[in-house]
Copies of this chain bind each other. A is one copy, B any other.
Amino acid sequence: MKEEWAWPEDSLDPPDWAEYRSVCRAAAEEAAAYLEHVRTRPAWRPLPPAVLDLPRQELPLAPTPLPAVIEEFRSTVLPYPTGNIHPRFFGWVHGTGLSCGVVAEMYAAAMNANLGGRNHAPVYVERAVLEWCRRIFRFPEGASGLLVSGTSMGTVVALASARNRMIPGDIRQDGLRGARPVAFYASSEVHQSNAKALELLGLGSGCLRRIPVDENFRMRTDALAEAVAADRGAGVLPVCVIGTAGTVNTGAVDDLTALASFCREQGLWFHVDGAFGAMCALNDSLRPRIAGIELADSLAFDFHKWMFVQYGVGCVLVRDGEAQREAFAYRESYLHGKARGAAGGDAWFCDYGPELSRGFLALRVWFAMKEHGLRRLGRVVLRNCLQAEYLRDRIRRHPSLRLLAGDLNVTCFRYVDESLNEEQLDRLNEDVVADLQEMGIAVPSTTRIHGLLAIRAALTNHRTEREDLDLFLDETVRLAKRRLGDMPPQS
């Protein structure tokens, strides 16, 4: 090379490939052992100062050999996970992750594919996953779909499709400024991500009508009909009903068949938020619980919750694929699909959502579906529901526990003691949950049911066994009693 064309020759590849291979082998070995022995570790543990100080470290200007980076990671990060891989993690709605995901992710990292489009095998893996989902949810052949980071983004994609299809005018070009007033409808138990999506889309959360629920936390279709009629009467354009398959608070499922038929009759878009509940489709005895989901105009759900796949990957399906494409398709001059070569292939996924570059999210889903098969995955979903029933049965029979709500895989309850008023019980139960977490015994979360603080256990955990549920309840009672001993008598 001539002097004038000298450039720095730093390599970002390993200085010694044999050493790198051995580092990879050791890491793989450790990742596997980490999963194998998860039960021997606490479900969660408080963070030591070294973790809290991570963001205060100096800028890493100089290199560090990979083994030393791994060593810091092993001591400072690896021992302090969210906890959701543990058999006694029941908090929020967190999936467990799968052992095959470790393998899938190392291969995906090696390939480093960009799934925005173009013509390469990873694109066909995502198409396979989408096609299987289309068939699982019995969507028609013209349906489209996209893997997304989770249901929140799936909701954005679905509601953007609904917005642009249902609201008169050229929304992509002109925006919403001159649009008619519109309304979306969902139960009062709907997940906040739906309101957040409406905010992002410029529709405003104010257009979301929160329809009252019945005693089982399901949207009241009579109240829905009234709300739609009232809006029409007031000159507001009803656009879309959002049904929920599995509310986050109590696991309730709206009457999706009734909502679908109402939407058809009224000419409304029917979206289903199936973040975890959609997975009932994997089991014949649970499938009736979400009947009507196959009638949705769009459906968003997660693989990382109740299909146990590693974070973050979910899916959106849109019944009329053209609606999704119309909302997002946009090819640059440098991106025009070619007849030949690496730029070929159609359709490109970037035409179905807001992202241009996209990671190989599909591989871990493909591994999960292939290794376990849908029937086995469905049986584990069923097991979580049966385990929740077991939990509710034990709570009902226990004199100091009170069942507040629960359906599907979700159970809300609290410890009760007649010497305390409701407010004192709120504090007691909140403290007990923090005790359970800090002692590493179990990780439930909390919520409010009819204003009362509830201990909430959502089972989307394939590692949970009966002994875990028993220990969780026994320790809840024990810790509550211990705290009661500490508490001053009621004044």
- The one of B98, B121, B127 in contact with A77, judged by C-beta atoms closer than 8 angstroms, is B121
Given contacts A111-B78, A121-B76, whether A149 and B95 have CB atoms under 8 Å apart is no
Q: Judge whether A120 and B371 touch: CB under 8 Å.
A: no
Residue A311, interface by CB 8 Å? yes
Residue A328, interface by CB 8 Å? yes
Question: How far in angstroms is the closest Cβ of chain B from A144?
Answer: 13
Q: Judge whether A103 and B66 touch: CB under 8 Å.
A: yes
Residue of B nearest to A356 (CB): B152
Residues of B within 8 A of A150 (CB): 355-358
Q: Judge whether A354 and B107 touch: CB under 8 Å.
A: no
Residues of B within 8 A of A369 (CB): 60
Q: Judge whether B136 and A59 touch: CB under 8 Å.
A: yes
Q: Judge whether A124 and B47 touch: CB under 8 Å.
A: yes
Given contacts A112-B84, A376-B63, A447-B334, whether A8 and B382 have CB atoms under 8 Å apart is yes
Q: Judge whether B113 and A81 touch: CB under 8 Å.
A: yes
Most interface-central of A60, A207, A443 (chain B CB within 10 A): A60
- The one of B25, B69, B163, B312 in contact with A359, judged by C-beta atoms closer than 8 angstroms, is B312
Q: Judge whether B12 and A99 touch: CB under 8 Å.
A: yes
CA A57 – CA B386 in complex, angstroms?
32
Residue A411, interface by CB 8 Å? no
Can you report 18 residue pairs joining A to B where beta carbons are below 8 Å apart?
A: A5-B466, A7-B387, A17-B32, A66-B371, A73-B107, A77-B363, A95-B112, A102-B109, A109-B364, A113-B311, A114-B312, A152-B356, A172-B204, A174-B204, A176-B204, A202-B202, A248-B334, A340-B434
Given contacts A109-B364, A128-B55, whether A383 and B13 have CB atoms under 8 Å apart is no
Question: How far in angstroms is the closest Cβ of chain B from A472?
Answer: 14
Residue A230, interface by CB 8 Å? no
Residue A234, interface by CB 8 Å? no
Residue A105, interface by CB 8 Å? yes
Residue of B nearest to A198 (CB): B175
Q: Judge whether A64 and B111 touch: CB under 8 Å.
A: no
**Given A12-B377, A92-B335, A175-B206: 19 more A-B contacts, CB < 8 Å:** A8-B383, A12-B99, A13-B99, A24-B28, A66-B103, A66-B371, A77-B124, A96-B112, A102-B109, A105-B108, A105-B109, A112-B310, A115-B311, A176-B176, A176-B203, A195-B330, A334-B445, A338-B434, A340-B437
Q: Judge whether B60 and A370 touch: CB under 8 Å.
A: yes
Given contacts A83-B120, A103-B66, A334-B446, whether A132 and B12 have CB atoms under 8 Å apart is no
Q: Judge whether B8 and A121 touch: CB under 8 Å.
A: no
CA A61 – CA B373 in complex, angstroms?
5
Q: Judge whether A82 and B122 touch: CB under 8 Å.
A: yes
Report A327-346 CB contacts with B as 1/0, cut-off 8 Å: 01010111100111111000
Q: Judge whether B197 and A438 touch: CB under 8 Å.
A: no
Please provide the chain A residues from 1 to 51 with a CB less than 8 Å away from any CB of chain B in the complex. 1, 5, 7-14, 17, 20-21, 23-25, 27-36, 44, 47, 51
Q: Judge whether A357 and B456 touch: CB under 8 Å.
A: no
Residues of B within 8 A of A36 (CB): 13, 17, 20-21
CA A27 – CA B132 in complex, angstroms?
26
Q: Judge whether A380 and B120 touch: CB under 8 Å.
A: no
Q: What are the nearest 10 A-B pairs in CB distance?
A: A202-B202, A175-B204, A97-B112, A80-B121, A341-B437, A28-B28, A312-B359, A334-B447, A105-B109, A341-B434
Report A203-243 CB contacts with B as 1/0, cut-off 8 Å: 11111000000000000000000000000000000000000
Given contacts A12-B380, A92-B334, A200-B156, whether A312 and B357 have CB atoms under 8 Å apart is yes
Most interface-central of A31, A103, A192 (chain B CB within 10 A): A103
Q: Judge whether A328 and B196 touch: CB under 8 Å.
A: yes
Residue A481, interface by CB 8 Å? no
Question: How far in angstroms is the closest Cβ of chain B from A419?
Answer: 24
Please provide the chain A residues from 175 to 205 with a CB less than 8 Å away from any CB of chain B in the complex. 175-179, 181, 191-193, 195-205
CA A423 – CA B204 in complex, angstroms?
49
Most interface-central of A173, A332, A357, A367 (chain B CB within 10 A): A357
Residue A417, interface by CB 8 Å? no
Q: Judge whether A102 and B62 touch: CB under 8 Å.
A: no
Q: Judge whether A29 and B21 touch: CB under 8 Å.
A: yes
Q: Judge whether B31 and A81 touch: CB under 8 Å.
A: no
- The one of B102, B121, B438 in contact with A341, judged by C-beta atoms closer than 8 angstroms, is B438
Residue A131, interface by CB 8 Å? yes
CA A195 – CA B13 in complex, angstroms?
37
- The one of B14, B77, B85, B202 in contact with A203, judged by C-beta atoms closer than 8 angstroms, is B202
Residues of B within 8 A of A32 (CB): 17, 20-21, 24, 110
